[in-house]
């Protein structure tokens, strides 16, 4: 029998829209706040900021809203809504997230986060839903000069895992994120959130799945013999 070959030795995850259900709430907060000051911010325009690092997304929103003053107004109003007291986690885990992370942990596969959000926000949001401890490192958009679709964030995450990007399987929901992962040399599994992947993204993706639940059964195959033995007990 031909021995099974390990394809990947580590996993890297985006956060917003992939691990936690946050993109819709954030988008609606911005659209609603813009409406309150008389500006129409279309969802089709807003989705273009998804996956970008904060400096780039802020600059794009300034252009959409007309000027810096309007941007600051809408940012403050949306932020107040998103940070209002809540009885539970404001951004719940997406289906299959905890189960997939548990499977990878049980298989001894190191995991990292590569998110356009700030490191402080990443740790806070993942800590609130109880999955932060699954990750050996966290890399945020505030740590790189250029955000997604530039590959720097994924390169940083792989470096912190101590492996080459080519050894990593990335999980992403957005086109910018998937492009960043692909440009770094990692392979990417796309689990779309708000916006379906373009034909270009579908073409270079390792897989396109409906939910993270669907990835769990593939862990032994994607991460090789070591993962299979670990999951078998």
The structure tokens listed for 118 are 């700030």
The structure tokens listed for 57 are 């997304």
Q: pLDDT category, 233, cuts 50, 70, 90?
A: very low
Neighbours of 133 (CB within 10 A): 10
Q: Which helix (H) or strand (E) holds 62?
A: helix 54-65
Average pLDDT over residues 89-104: 92
Average pLDDT over residues 173-180: 94
The structure tokens listed for 78 are 């949306």
Give the separation between CA 146 and CA 120, rounded to whole angstroms: 18
The CA-to-CA distance between both ends of the chain, in Å, stands at 22
What are the tens digits of pLDDT across the range 141-166? 999 988 899 999 999 999 999 999 99
Could you tell me which residue, 233 or 157, shows the higher pLDDT? Answer: 157
Architecture of domain 10-21+91-232: 3-Layer(aba) Sandwich (3.40)
14 is catalytic: yes
Q: What is the pTM of this model?
A: 0.84
- So what's the pLDDT on residue 223? 92
Average pLDDT over residues 196-215: 96
8 Å CB contact between 174 and 198: no
* Catalytic-role residue among 16, 150, 173, 193: 16
8 Å CB contact between 177 and 151: no
pLDDT at 86 over 50: yes
- So what's the pLDDT on residue 54? 76
pLDDT at 96 over 90: yes
**Cβ neighbours for 133, distance < 8 A, ≥ 6 positions apart:** none
pLDDT at 13 over 90: yes
Neighbours of 179 (CB within 10 A): 21
The structure tokens listed for 33 are 């706040």
């Amino acid at each position: 029998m031909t021995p099974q070959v390990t394809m990947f030795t580590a996993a890297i995850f985006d956060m917003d829209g992939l691990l936690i259900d946050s993109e819709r709430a954030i988008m609606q907060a911005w659209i609603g706040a813009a409406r309150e000051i008389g500006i129409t911010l279309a969802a089709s325009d807003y989705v273009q900021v998804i996956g970008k690092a904060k400096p780039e997304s802020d600059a794009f929103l300034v252009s959409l809203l007309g000027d810096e003053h309007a941007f600051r107004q809408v940012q403050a109003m949306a932020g107040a809504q998103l940070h209002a007291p809540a009885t539970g986690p404001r951004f719940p885990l997406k289906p299959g997230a905890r189960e997939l992370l548990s499977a990878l942990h049980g298989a001894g596969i190191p995991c990292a986060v590569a998110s356009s959000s700030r490191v402080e926000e990443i740790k806070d949001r993942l800590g609130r839903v109880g999955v932060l401890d699954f990750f050996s490192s966290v890399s945020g958009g505030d740590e790189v000069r250029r955000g997604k679709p530039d590959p720097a964030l994924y390169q940083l995450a792989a470096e912190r895992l101590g492996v080459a990007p080519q050894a990593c399987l990335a999980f992403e929901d957005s086109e910018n994120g998937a492009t960043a992962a692909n440009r770094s040399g990692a392979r990417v599994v796309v689990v779309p959130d708000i916006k379906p992947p373009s034909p270009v993204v579908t073409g270079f993706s390792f897989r396109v799945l409906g939910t993270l639940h669907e990835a769990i059964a593939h862990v032994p195959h994607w991460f090789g013999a070591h993962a299979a033995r670990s999951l078998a007990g």
